[in-house]
Amino acid sequence: MNALVRRAVARAGIPCLWRGKCFSSGKEPAESNRVTPMLRHLRYKIKSTGPITVAEYMKEVLTNPAKGYYVHHDMLGEKGDFITSPEISQIFGELLGIWFVSEWMTSGKSPAFQLVELGPGRGTLTGDILRVFSQLGSVLKTCDISIHLVEVSQKLSEIQAQVLTEEKLPVERDAESLVYMKGVTKSGIPVSWYRDLKDVPKGYSFYLAHEFFDVLPVHKFQKTPQGWREVLVDIDPQVSDKLRFVLAPCATPAEAFIQHDERRDHVEVCPDAGIIIQELSQRIASTGGAALIADYGHDGTKTDTFRGFCGHQLHDVLTAPGTADLTADVDFSYLRRMVQGKVASLGPVEQRTFLKNMGIDVRLKVLLDKADEPSTKRQLLQGYDMLMNPQKMGERFNFFALLPHQRLHGANQERNARQSKTPASSVPGFDDLVWQ
């Protein structure tokens, strides 16, 4: 937002109403409404420049180098603020590992590939995938594999290194180096850490983004009689230690991301997601591979999805900033538009459909048969229910994939169709898994 707009908003910020209510959610317990270091930082920033966009608010709260939530917290697991699918069941990561191996085989068994994960959490998902790679060593023995992790949190990168290499890795001290940490996994595969996708070497790669896009900053817009108006974050004039939402009094630059035929009266747009999707599409179109994206999301139907999580509970997004995770559902229709025809896109499909197509029921039975302890069986069944139950993660999470056009409509389609009962265009997860 330019300075002129900021000053106008500072003078005439309009209190923001949504569904007849103020955006900020009512009353919070006194202890949660404390003045955090991040709140002090944001108050100073807003007093200096005027109200900020929701995207700028998210970016500051989550990734500010000095006070950001992701930079200094281990927010995952039972002791954190949320639990992800890899933390719930090993089956999840194993099936994703099978997906990558299947795509590698279908696409011609390249002599080398990079596995690139965006926002790897605690490293659990990559660890489960690597276990599959080891179990399929006879298939992958001639393939040169390397792991590349894109992670901005120093705290999480240290945990990932411990999980994947079982040793504390030295941080790369050269500020000019694109790789800030590197080592070798327990199975002997080289692993490197980067702060940005653009720093990862280009080449035949499989990209994985699990619960990555939902934390990228979003701009929020409300339709008014005067047209679209961006939702901004301001200081509450009645309570100086409290933040509130207001509407910009005039158009703002991010409005350009709204579709001309948009029918919803409230939308969230994520320019950063578009930039990353374009980068992934360009890489896959140029050097091959695929991208698999799994996240909370919708196909251009939802409106207000911006929310916070603290201690596994919903948390007011404007209260005690810096102490809770902030997230917004991914708009997969927007991701599909940002592909711009460079590659083919599949999905979104619900997580329960994807995992069922990948054979989760068969894998669960194998693990249950091997389990001796009743507690282990109970844990496996509880994990399965969490992943597949429509009321839990089964319908809330979706899978979305990017693939080269020739993967679905290539010159070898007729030959492959003659050799297998599975058509060349069949993609595991989005269709039933059948090993070639």
Q: Could you read off the pLDDT of 181-225 as tens digits, one per residue?
A: 999 999 999 999 999 999 999 999 999 999 999 999 999 999 999
d(CA 14, CA 9): 8
d(CA 104, CA 129): 14
3-state DSSP call for residue 250? Answer: coil
d(CA 378, CA 371): 10
| Two structure tokens written together for 394 | 């089964």
Q: Which residue bears the tokens 């997860």?
A: 429
Conformational region of residue 377, where left means phi above 0, alpha means psi within -120 to 50, and beta covers everything else: alpha
Beta-strand pair 190-194/313-315: unpaired
Q: Is the pTM value of this prediction over 0.75? A: yes
What's the pLDDT at 173? 60
**Dihedral (CA of 38, 44, 49, 50) sign:** positive
pLDDT digits (tens, 9 = 90+) for 292-343: 999 999 999 999 999 999 887 899 999 999 999 999 999 999 999 999 999 9
Neighbour count for residue 286 (Cβ, 10 Å): 13
Distance, first Cα to last Cα, the chain: 52
- Of 152, 207, 214, 143, the C-alpha closest to 181 is 152
Q: Answer for the pair 64, 41: CB distance below 8 angstroms, yes or no.
A: yes
What's the pLDDT at 167? 76
Helix (H) or strand (E) holding 410: none
Average pLDDT score over the chain: 87
What are the beta bridge partners of residue 327? 307
3-state DSSP call for residue 415? Answer: helix
Helix (H) or strand (E) holding 159: helix 154-165
Compute the average pLDDT of residues 92-118: 97
- Of 315, 309, 125, the C-alpha closest to 207 is 125
Mean pLDDT is highest, among 13-22, 74-83, 235-244, for 235-244
Q: Answer for the pair 347, 430: CB distance below 8 angstroms, yes or no.
A: yes
> Please, which pLDDT band fits residue 29 given cuts at 50, 70 and 90?
very low
3-state DSSP call for residue 33? Answer: helix
d(CA 373, CA 234): 55
d(CA 240, CA 432): 56
- Burial class of residue 406, CB neighbours in 10 A (0-12, 13-18, 19+): middle
d(CA 319, CA 31): 10
> Please, which pLDDT band fits residue 14 given cuts at 50, 70 and 90?
low
Of the CA atoms within 13 Å of residue 192, those in its CB half-sphere come to 18
